[in-house]
Amino acid sequence: MTVRSPLAPENFPDLPPIDGVRTASLAAGIRYSGRTDLLVAELDPGTTVAGVFTKSLCPSAPVDWCRDVLAKGTARVLVVNSGNANAFTGSAGVDSVNRTAEAAAQLFGCERSDVYLASTGVIGEPLADGKIADALPKAKAALSSGNWTGAAEAIMTTDTFPKGATAKAKIGGVEVSICGIAKGSGMIAPDMATMLGFLFTDAAIPASALQALLSEAADQSFNCVTVDSDTSTSDTVLLFATGKAENDRNADLSDFKRALNDVCMDLAQQLAKDGEGAEKFVTITITGAENQMAARTIALTVANSPLVKTAIAGEDANWGRVVMAIGKAGQKANRDKIAISIGGVEVAKNGQVVAGYDESPVAEHMKGRNIVIEADVGVGNESATVWTCDLTHRYIDINADYRT
């Protein structure tokens, strides 16, 4: 029995339909019973697409597939299953991807290279893709607009709540919408931070411009979230733009960029809030770093430290472990200038505890749901912020018996 994360939003947000996108979610019986496990999205002709993927050197067969077809830049169908990742399945995995793409292309009357695939779940077991092929006609018959909750639920694995986000933007005076759904709660780390994420917009944006926008948005959001430092073989974020808003394709995209970043950030933070066993949402900001990369590396090292994460779980303002993590990050830091604040209260500066340090307001902060740790490493002017969660007993409960 899954307990909903205490950090979950109260409700799934209100996401509008996106013109040119219709989805269906159903139970194909791939692994789970009594729940949906297949998401199919049909995209109107003219839809452009961008994607970012896991940096794992052992990617899943669907990731290989998406990378291959992405060069063309157009999309008509998205097929996503949960329960089985189709990763480390050798030639069987490749065959299975080919069969599913072929079945979808035939059914929807498009090129195979307009079919996008994603799978999430157990690694190393052959995917029963026959069940997907069997379910596709039923999915086609059930397509509808705006059922984002159903879509977000169908792609969940150990997630305790469905994740969605939306924003509006103006392109050349025309209002466009972005809706996004995501899944992921463990095996989450930067490069990619993910998970699966699917974003849809009615904006008309050429594939190359769309790719640049998505790459940058993902870098500032999904790549700044970590749950357990583990990187999935299947991480995939796709952004589909149907063009139905008929905005000027040459208009300025800065407002769309802002909106896309907002949606990605919202989804990324929901991932951390659904980190396996998460009781606390943790924001870590590193300032005073030599450069951006150093700042983020240090921030992620703090965020991934099991000792920092267990201290937070124990509501212990153990800033010494933050220092330890800064020290092991391998990036320049001036030990004798380090300053640390927790919950906005200065704990240490110039490399030692502040005079007359009163732990009580910090201890109070540690009892809350939102923990904020800031550290200045005293060597430069660059900063980075990352998001994570604490490491609790439930993480172990979830992961010690995931397959059983």
Mind telling me the catalytic residues? 194
Residue 289 C-beta: closest distance to a copy of itself, Å: 12
Distance CA 306, CA 390 (A): 9
Q: How many residues bind a copy of itself (CB under 8 A)?
A: 70
Three-class DSSP category at 166: strand
Of 34-42, 161-169, 173-181, 226-234: span binding a copy of itself (CB under 8 A): 226-234
* CB closer to a copy of itself out of 7 and 263: 7
* CB closer to a copy of itself out of 231 and 242: 231
Residue 56 binding a copy of itself, by CB under 8 A: yes
Distance CA 81, CA 129 (A): 10
Residue bearing tokens 């800031």: 374
Phi (first) and psi of residue 159, to 5 degrees? -55, 145
Asked if residues 100 and 129 have their Cβ atoms less than 8 Å apart, the reply is yes
Three-class DSSP category at 395: helix
Residue 351 binding a copy of itself, by CB under 8 A: yes
CA distances for 113 relative to 106, 154, 209, 319, angstroms: 12, 24, 20, 52
Of 9-17, 227-235, 239-247, 285-293: span binding a copy of itself (CB under 8 A): 227-235
What is the spatial order of strands in the sheet that 48-53 belongs to?
48-53, 236-241, 196-201, 174-183, 163-171
Asked if residues 251 and 364 have their Cβ atoms less than 8 Å apart, the reply is no
Q: Which residue type does 191 have?
A: D
Residue 121 C-beta: closest distance to a copy of itself, Å: 10
Residue 226 binding a copy of itself, by CB under 8 A: no
Contacts of 106 (CB under 8 A, 6+ apart): none
Residue 67 binding a copy of itself, by CB under 8 A: no
* CB closer to a copy of itself out of 4 and 393: 393
Strand partners, 143: none
Work out the number of other CB atoms within 10 angstroms of the CB of residue 316: 12
Distance CA 179, CA 195 (A): 17
Residue 238 C-beta: closest distance to a copy of itself, Å: 20
Strand partners, 386: 284
- Sites for a copy of itself among residues 250-279 (CB under 8 A): none
* CB closer to a copy of itself out of 1 and 400: 400
* CB closer to a copy of itself out of 25 and 305: 305
- Sites for a copy of itself among residues 84-143 (CB under 8 A): 85, 87-93, 122-125
Residue 310 C-beta: closest distance to a copy of itself, Å: 4
Residue 230 C-beta: closest distance to a copy of itself, Å: 5
Measured CA angle at 208 (ends 250, 253), to 5 deg? 40
| Residue choice 16, 291, 332, 382 for contact with a copy of itself (CB under 8 A) | 332
* CB closer to a copy of itself out of 9 and 320: 320
Which residues in this chain contact a copy of itself in the complex, by CB under 8 A?
Answer: 54-59, 85, 87-93, 122-125, 186-187, 189, 228-233, 304-307, 310-311, 313-314, 316, 318-321, 323-333, 335-336, 338, 348, 350-353, 391-393, 395-396, 399-404
